[in-house]
Structure 1
């Protein structure tokens, strides 16, 4: 799985479906975050899966291990492809999440991939040190959280493109990296502090990229999606081909 996930950061299911209808028969991979999920419930995921979209359910779970285990059991039953939790919840919590996903997976299907959020791409080095009171270089923190996630049996992490090469050197090619903060060269970075282009993500070795406003707020979303995806893959192709 090497997708470009479109972040559906919208308030209603209708907005999301109306947006995706512009892609006609194409079924790009999508990310459902807290805004869309909390406002509309599991039904939005069911609708997207019925339409044939790969779904990344990005709820960034963070709680005591038992609560996360039960939550992941439920999320797995939705048939989604990828889920997230916060690496800062610790190894025991991540192990419980993995257990919940295994228990909740639909019959005959693999459990969703699970990746741990290391440091948000909106987080700067200054915020890391001064606001979060995390010592040292932000990249070292990402590497530490990745080590914990892999020890817990997770598939990989959410990180910025800037950390991917270092992760490959430390942990090999098997760690699955999801990289938000993707922008075309010269475009508005919005609130992202550690952004990168699709080509930079490809060269670094990202397994999946996430793009939201760059596509969803464009007046030519399908054209922009194709442009970003072509740069990401280094060829003309669609996610589901």
Structure 2
């Protein structure tokens, strides 16, 4: 898909970070005429199972399955096959699992999608979590250097494995685009409009700044889901995103 053809609303994923399906679907229904892609993470999926994917698809939403697969290549290939069979728009794996794991994930997704005659989901590599600061990276995870250089190295590895893009913070977008090109997707969590609190994420950015840096997709959670009026919050963000769209310049 050419990113230049996407509407602002198509570039936003709403993180349904709920512990039950009823609340998640209630929120999705309130946003149904504004944003079309919902992110389903570990908490909601383990509580609701694959039924949440079916219910969202029945309502016309796309799904970004955010379960961050990280296991031996054969196991991840099996997980990729399974999630693809549910018709998700996108899912992710940890780049830290290595080249073979990522290759097998993409290959399994392509094979299952072709067998079912459905669109191949976008397979995205998780580089470093937005909660990871340099001290955590160096002293706890045991990777030397700064976060940005690690993320860019992981992005190159994901591209070599044939993945469609990576998850990273907005602060790494420019470096990833320089290293991997404009067509390599960047999915950016940790997005906060100026009127929302940062909470527990360290490497955050506003929607305007992320899109101007070249982000492909923005993942927004609490700023919408915890708002007094989620639909109004979504519309405010969409207005901000629309105003940030460049008329010319870097490929979006």
Query: What's 1:229 paired with?
Result: 238
Cα distance, 1:231 vs. partner? 1.5
The list of structure 1 runs, each at least 4 consecutive aligned residues, that deviate by more than 4 angstroms after superposition, is 24-27
- Provide the rounded CA distance (Å) in 2 between the counterparts of 1:76 and 1:9: 21
In structure 2, how many angstroms separate the alpha carbons of the residues matched to 1:186 and 1:35? 26
Are 1:114 and 2:123 counterparts? yes
Q: Any idea what the Cα deviations from partners look like across 1:138-169, whole Å, max 9, x if unmatched?
A: 11110111111111100010000000011111
Aligned residues: 236
> 1:198 maps to which residue?
207
Contact map agreement 2:31 2:234 (CA 8 A) in 1? no
The alpha carbon displacement at 1:25 in A equals 4.5
2:111 aligns with one of 96, 103, 106: 103
Per-residue CA distance 1:177-206 (angstroms, 9 max, x = gap): 000000011421011100000000111100
- Residues 16-35 of structure 1: matches in 2 within 5 Å? 16-23=24-31, 25-26=33-34, 28-35=36-43
Matched, 1:91 2:99: yes
Q: Give distance in 1, aligned partners of 2:131 and 2:33.
A: 34
Match of 1:56 in 2: 64
CA contact (8 A) 2:191 2:220 kept: yes
Secondary structure of 1:234's aligned partner? helix
- Whether contact under 8 Å (1:31, 1:55) holds in the other structure is yes
Question: Matches of 1:27 and 1:161 in 2, distance apart?
Answer: 21
| Structure 1 stretch displaced more, 107-116 or 24-33 | 24-33
Q: Is 98-107 or 219-228 further displaced after alignment? A: 98-107
Q: 2:142 & 2:26 partners in 1: Cα distance?
A: 43
TM-score, length of structure 1 as denominator length: 0.94
Q: Structure 2 CA distance, aligned partners of 1:41 and 1:57?
A: 12
Aligned to 1:219: 228
Q: Give the secondary-structure state (helix, strand or coil) at the position aligned to 1:105.
A: helix
Shift of 1:79: 0.3
Deviation at 1:28, TM superposition (A): 2.6
Tell me, yes or no, if the aligned pair for 2:13 and 2:217 is still in contact at 8 Å: yes
CA contact (8 A) 1:10 1:16 kept: yes
1:174 partnered with 2:186: no
Q: Is the 8 A contact 1:27 1:51 kept in 2?
A: no
